[in-house]
Chains A and B, each alone.
Chain A
Amino acid sequence: MDRDKLEFFRGTLDVLILKALVWGPLHGYAITSFIRNWSDDVLLLEEGTLYPALWRLESKGLLEAEWGLSENNRRAKFYELTAEGRRQLRQDTKNWQAYAEAVAKILGATQPLLPEDAA
């Protein structure tokens, strides 16, 4: 994965992690599964990069971690959104949507100037 892509990916990863936890606590593996399933396997996540992102979010106070038991009774670390995390998610979602819309609009351009400016 080249450098530019990674940078881009990281910022995206944070918001995706937050989103994954909206319905309740999950462990790291479940988060990767969530992302993969919902992106229809399009976003190829190198799973190793997930954990530093999780810890960073945790140290920022956006997530809280607890040890618990997984569905097959293994000891696993579960992450949960804090109130701060929920707020961050709302903010990030809004930003991402605005960003994506803007990019989509530009990419859908059909002429060099907007119709009203040209007039």
Chain B
Amino acid sequence: MNSQPFWRRYARFFGPDPAADVKDELRFHLEAKRDDLIAQGLSPEAARKEAERQFGDVRAVQNLGQKLGEKMEQHKRLQEYWAECLWDVRYTLRKLARDPGFAAVSILILGLAIGANVAVFSVVNTLLLRPLPFPKSQELVWIAPPPSSCGFSCATYSSDAYDEFRAESRVYQDLTGYFAFSTADNLRLTGRGVPEPATGISVIGNFFEVLGVRPAMGRLFTTDEARGKQPAALLANAYWRREFAADPGIVGKAIELNGTPVTVVGVLPDTFDFGGVFSPGAKVDLFSPLDLDQARDWGNIVTLIGRLKPGVTVAQALDDANRVAPDIYFNTKYPQTRGRYQGDLIPGQLKDYVTGKLRHSLIALWCAVGAILLIAGVNLSNLLLARATARAKEFAMRSALGASRSRIVRQLVLETLLLSGGGAVLGLGLAVLLIEWLSHQGSVALPLLGSLRIDAQAVAWTTLIAMGTGILFGLLPGLRMASGNLQEVLKDSGQGAGLGRKHERVRAALVITEVALACVLLVSAGLLLRSFVKVLDVDLGFQPDRAASIKIEYNDTAPSNEASQLKRGEIFRQIINRVSSLPGVEAAGISDYLPLGPNREWDTPVPQGKTFNPGELPDPLVYVVTPGFVRAMGIRLHGRDFTWADGPHSESVVMINASAARFYWPGEDAVDKILMRGSEADRVVGVVDDVHEESLEGATGAQIYYPATQQGPSGAQLVMRSEIEPAALGPSVLQALRELNPDQPAAEFRPIQSIVDRASSPRRFFMLLVGSFAGLGLLLAALGIYGVISYTVTRQKQEIGVRMALGATTSRVQRGVLLGTLRLAICGIALGTVGSVLTARLIAALLFNTSPWDAASYAGMVIALVAVALMSGYLPARRASHINPMVALRSD
């Protein structure tokens, strides 16, 4: 085929005015016809008329021709444009292929920056931007008082309160909740060989209906099941796959939980992740209906989740809650508990409850990757400028040969777009890996992590930032190039000319920007690191190292409460004696709750003989423990520990923490004082250090410890302190427990340190991310500095040669180059410090016990940057000092 497209010819002859051409063509036809007719003997006038008659509607044909011509003209222009672009693309690819180092470095830089951006965007999108994974999730509200030191205990409500609030409120489609104080591995899957631990959550019967979760198989709970009349369970999808090998016939079968048969009524969908939404970092295996009647006297146990009627705002819901609150009882049996929840029933978006706390961290993270992208873009600009200087002659030649300025700019932008396109592909790949890794970090206590993925939005975002970077940072060198004086470049021998110097100034400014941005990143990372270290240094109130826990099973059913207490005491004593005698075990004890878990409270004890205003007394967090627990946990104790002699027949005893002691008896020794719970008196036998109850960073409130032989614990965690690595004890401890109780499941042997690690995991997570971004920023800044200094040295080769020929020493030349480097770095650091001070105020909310003006962080940043600058300057400096004056002077 003809390589020249047909329209080129067409264009050459049809010309730019299709209308005139059509007219000409038709006129020729009519005239030729007329001439023929005249030759046949017609008069000129008759011949003209006959020609027009035979032709038909001249005007219509002419209009048609004009339209067709215009269309072809447009078509032609478009094709011409694309052909030129294609030509430019080919040209650019050829150019890039000739300089693979440049292309690789640019694509790598952009890929890293874009990858980080896409990954963080996906996290932000999942956690902040996207609605929760429930239908019409904007209608869902979480009802709780504003956050306070008492954690979950204050954020839960009694059965009576739930029923009444549900009956009285007018703004909800329905209300639901779940039992807030389940612990991990609280169930045993029995009847299938070795008992397996499982984590179950009791939910109010309508829980899944309110959330809008439909089962993947089977059905939800019936009313009878919801009232606890028939035991039923819904399996989490992952549990069904793992434990039951995705048995398609599981619905309707009975499984045995703690020895009781329970019917599996359904399997929940894959998309429903209870832990991801309500309890980050935890996995839940199955759900059973919560019997509210049975739990009437258990105190505050359920969380409150409501689905608002369509169109109802949160503010309206709050008004309604304030209207209802005075009539709500804590327990209808006790009239004085009416109105206890006033001010505590505050609906807020469920989404805010789930991810609201992370907003600041995520925005900071987003800014950090934004800064990385800026640095990468600036670096790219810098590289392009360096190349552009080298290519100035090529462009001057092209424009002398008739290439328009816009064409040259377009080609440069195209070059950047191609590079950023490559970067985008690489970045997307990196982001996919990163997100894949993140979404499997089950131990990081961040919500919704499991639903992280790269979706269409993330891909769109990638394209957007890649294009944006390409155009923004490619345009700068492009414009500079196009504005250059043609003649000057052509005459310029390439050294010391005006354009070169101008470029150098721009490049220096770019490097200073880069250093400043890296500086801000480094300071932020430094501050977060300091906060993290401070968090790790927090006095937990217990010694997590060398301690481990295991969930144990026991059966204390007995005809009476007292008999049950005696039986339990005996079981616990046996276990502790047996475990303590194992080699390597220093101390062992049992508690029903471990620190840094969900908490609970029972009563409001009153110190004997004192009066307080209502609401003034704290509701202490409750631990039910055996003798030996405080020692096994490494909690410091003043007074005495419980003993096995503290039983149902002896005096009621308690231990309290230092905060409680200070509150009840300020300035006095609390040991031997009496606390009243209603009519019951408890003697305080010991005061222990405050143990961080819910988080490492929050303040601690009042805590109270009851002996397991006098109060009913809810479950039992055996804690032991060992001389050796606790993990090594696992098998022997489990064996000892099995000997005592064959039903003991193969529960996880958990180092206490892992509980602490989990509590600090979100902070560690953010610190690691910001830290690696800062590292990346530093690396890019170093590359930028290196590029500029190296280029300067190349450009000044002759000058340096002359100076050396005139007697400048090697060290003097080196010093000169290094000083130039330092000048850039110091300008950047100065600018960056100002930026950091401004940024530090923004991230102040993320810091823990660290001032935003923390001197160590700033000093660290300065040292790191100066060191990196000197390192990047050293190589070019060495090269400069090795210049052979003779060679340099001779070469052009």
On A, residues with C-beta under 8 Å from B are 27-29, 32, 46-49, 51-52, 55-56, 58-59, 61, 64-67, 70, 72, 74-77, 82-84
Contact = CB atoms under 8 A, between A and B. Distances in A.
B25 A70 contact: no
Given A64-B10, A66-B13, A82-B2, A74 B28 contact: yes
A75 B13 contact: no
8 closest cross-chain pairs (CB), A and B: A48-B56, A29-B32, A46-B56, A47-B55, A48-B61, A67-B13, A48-B55, A76-B28
B72 A59 contact: yes
Nearest to B32: A29
Given A64-B10, A76-B28, A77-B21, A49 B68 contact: no
Range class of the B interface residue count:
20 to 34
B1 interface: yes
Contacts, number: 80
B27 to A, nearest CB: 9
B64 interface: yes
B845 interface: no
A61 B31 contact: no
12 contacts: A28-B25, A28-B29, A29-B28, A32-B29, A47-B54, A51-B64, A56-B68, A59-B72, A75-B28, A77-B28, A82-B2, A84-B1
B26 A66 contact: no
A40 to B, nearest CB: 17
B10 A51 contact: no
Nearest to B72: A59
B6 A48 contact: no
A65 B65 contact: no
Contacts of A77: 13, 21, 24-25, 28
Nearest to A78: B13
B25 A74 contact: no
Given A55-B65, A70-B32, A74-B28, A49 B2 contact: no
Interface string B759-794: 000000000000000000000000000000000000
Contacts of A74: 28, 31-32
Contacts of B68: 52, 55-56, 59
Interface string B433-445: 0000000000000
A14 B35 CA distance: 27
Contact of A52 (B10, B21, B65, B72): B65
Contacts of B35: 72
Nearest to B75: A59
B9 interface: yes
Contacts of A28: 25, 28-29
A90 B69 CA distance: 28
Given A46-B56, A47-B54, A74-B32, A61 B6 contact: yes
Interface of B: 1-2, 6, 9-10, 13-14, 21, 24-26, 28-29, 31-33, 35, 54-58, 60-61, 64-65, 68-69, 71-72, 75
Given A29-B33, A82-B6, 11 more contacts: A55-B65, A55-B68, A59-B71, A64-B6, A64-B9, A65-B14, A70-B28, A70-B32, A75-B28, A77-B13, A83-B2
B50 to A, nearest CB: 11
Contacts of B75: 59
A66 B13 CA distance: 6
Contacts of A32: 29
A52 B61 contact: yes
A84 B10 CA distance: 16
A49 B56 contact: yes
A67 B17 CA distance: 14
Interface-centre pick from A27, A47, A74, A82 (highest chain B CB count, 10 A): A47
Contacts of A72: 32, 35
Nearest to A47: B55
A51 B66 CA distance: 12
A65 B24 CA distance: 14
Contact of B9 (A51, A59, A66, A76): A66
Given A65-B13, A66-B9, A66-B13, A51 B65 contact: yes
Nearest to B28: A76
A59 B13 CA distance: 14
A110 to B, nearest CB: 41
Nearest to A44: B54
Contacts of B25: 28, 51, 76-77
A21 B21 CA distance: 21
Contacts of A52: 61, 64-65, 68
A83 B32 CA distance: 29
A25 to B, nearest CB: 12
A19 to B, nearest CB: 19
